Structure 1
């Protein structure tokens, strides 16, 4: 009989289900139950207030912009780390994971100091009329900083595993560098890119610590949804906080469902090709 290193199915499944129920399902269930206790009219009044809608707009647009930047720069960074050798490569590769290890509040303070008008980068940008701190641009910068590793770390292994023979065959057929990337490499990277972008967008939607220090937190201008939920908690209005948080939860679920659907379609297309 084959020796199993891990416990058998009943015990392993029991441990897994216990973990999922205790760590994932129970908190989410409590959030949904608290929000549902409001009743439909009161729930809608809270989540559709002008301040809440403004926070949704600020959060969603900033997260989309940060994710778009992450797509471009994350893919470029993963490409450089995989395809080139240069001094300091190991250091840069290690720094990619810094936002994972760094407390988000520390990241927010560091970014605020860096991009303030008297900061290293902020003074340069201020000289050309660009203000980052206490503006929506600052929110985008904070979200980009904390979510970039998701794109890099999902694309990097796929790039490393790509068969060089595919590119060599395309070159032998006269394909240009741009054509090879768009027609050969990018389709193979699409499932990983979608996974990285979905994780990046979800992280940006829920980002709190790095944003509140650099955003300025002005209602209807630079106030994110997570901060509005926190404000309702400080007011001991737990039902309203749960209602606002449930909007983020629903958005994240919808986004992940759409991403999984697109990933499945991309994988089926690659299988047919």
Structure 2
């Protein structure tokens, strides 16, 4: 066994059990730098062409503000709806055995497997006024496709697997003996759910909701077909970036993209702080 190395004026340094750490950390940092850091730096530098005043002017345009509000607002709403829906599906797939469970479990991954454009076309065909569900809704005076409601449905569709797949491993590892102990002590089903199960699931649930939100904010292919793409009404921010690129307004597109990245980082930072607080509270 290798002894810890003592250095004058320093604490004992325990050698790593795994060999090759310098090479591993070097490859990790280089890969992340090329794939993540450099694109973000380029995104941050490109708006400098139009200056701070140009960036502010771009981001305060009514069309840009409407697109950002629509994308972030509907993404947050879809992620919140996916929270109880994903929890219910994960609970059903984990705790119950029934015919067709494996098929249902595989269907959860369908939004992952489908190309986003195919998903958008399929959703549009279903929810359009002449579609299977859209025609029934039209008879009740409800229009789904080419409205914010259609965008919301598409975002729920693509975000649901993130919540389900994040919760499933936690539910599978959850010790049922704790629930049985609570039952023995006289806890009702509601008390066992709210005081035993849910506190354990909250950190994973927040992670799943965060992933669903992050995916929804940047979603393009599955939304652009069902959105209708009407400026100030159903135009999402990713589509507006594409439009600016087609107009050769690269600095303006980068400014909108940078605003989306900044807002997403801020929201996810708050979510991570809340998640860590819940974890520390659970350990206390």
**TM-score band, normalised by shorter chain:** over 0.9
**Counterpart in 2 of 1:134?**
146
What's the Cα RMSD here? Answer: 1.6
**Counterpart in 1 of 2:85?**
73
Distance (Å, rounded) in 1 between the aligned partners of 2:276 and 2:87: 21
How far has the Cα of 1:7 moved from its partner? Answer: 6.2
The normalised TM-score by structure 2 is 0.92
Any residues of structure 2 matched to 1:112-191 within 5 Å, and which?
Answer: 112-191=124-203
Secondary structure, aligned partner of 2:248 = coil
Query: Which structure has the larger Rg over C-alpha atoms?
Result: 2
**Counterpart in 2 of 1:210?**
222
How far has the Cα of 1:5 moved from its partner? Answer: 11
Candidates 95, 117, 123, aligned match of 1:83: 95
Candidates 237, 244, 263, aligned match of 1:225: 237
**Counterpart in 2 of 1:25?**
37
How far has the Cα of 1:122 moved from its partner? Answer: 1.3
Secondary structure, aligned partner of 1:179 = helix
How far has the Cα of 1:65 moved from its partner? Answer: 1.7
**Counterpart in 2 of 1:59?**
71
Superposed CA deviations along residues 181-203 of structure 1, whole A, max 9, x for unmatched, are 11111110010011011111111
- Count of aligned residue pairs for this structure pair: 271
Q: Point out where structure 2 has 5 or more consecutive residues left out of the alignment.
A: 3-15
The 1:91–1:5 alpha-carbon spacing in structure 2 relative to 1, beyond 3 Å, is farther
Distance (Å, rounded) in 1 between the aligned partners of 2:264 and 2:33: 19
Q: Point out where structure 1 has 5 or more consecutive residues left out of the alignment.
A: none
Q: Does 1:46 align with 2:81?
A: no
How far has the Cα of 1:174 moved from its partner? Answer: 1.8
How far has the Cα of 1:38 moved from its partner? Answer: 2.3
Secondary structure, aligned partner of 1:70 = helix
